[in-house]
Amino acid sequence: MQISVVFANPEQPLWLKSTLAPGSTVKDAITCSGLLDRLPHLDLSSYKLGIFGKFARLDKPLEPGDRVEIYLPATANPKSIKGRKRSDSLVTVTD
């Protein structure tokens, strides 16, 4: 089955495709993609993983066409960003 592995690192984004046997897991996909050979410093325990935007564990079985995603840690509090965006976009109208 065809799958892809995506690591959206701003310094070196990678989108790798692999062919795996049915019943393969997220961990199998990452290993077979060669991602860890390209980025040997990558410690998977430090990152969240997902399939098409939904969190997944390393032992999750894959379906044909799945996209395994490795998410970077958040660098800001999403609530503070949301509030900041809202206040920045407010327009004050005076008579």
Under 8 Å CB-to-CB from 4, ≥6 apart: which residues? 15, 16, 17, 18, 33, 66, 67, 68
pLDDT tens for 24-63 read 999 999 999 999 999 888 888 888 999 999 999 999 999 9
Whether the pLDDT of residue 93 is over 90: the answer is no
What local confidence, expressed as pLDDT, does residue 39 receive?
Answer: 87
**6 close to 15: Cβ distance less than 8 angstroms:** yes
**44 close to 30: Cβ distance less than 8 angstroms:** yes
Q: Is the CATH code 3.10.20.30 the one for domain 2-89?
A: yes
pLDDT tens for 68-80 read 999 987 666 666 6
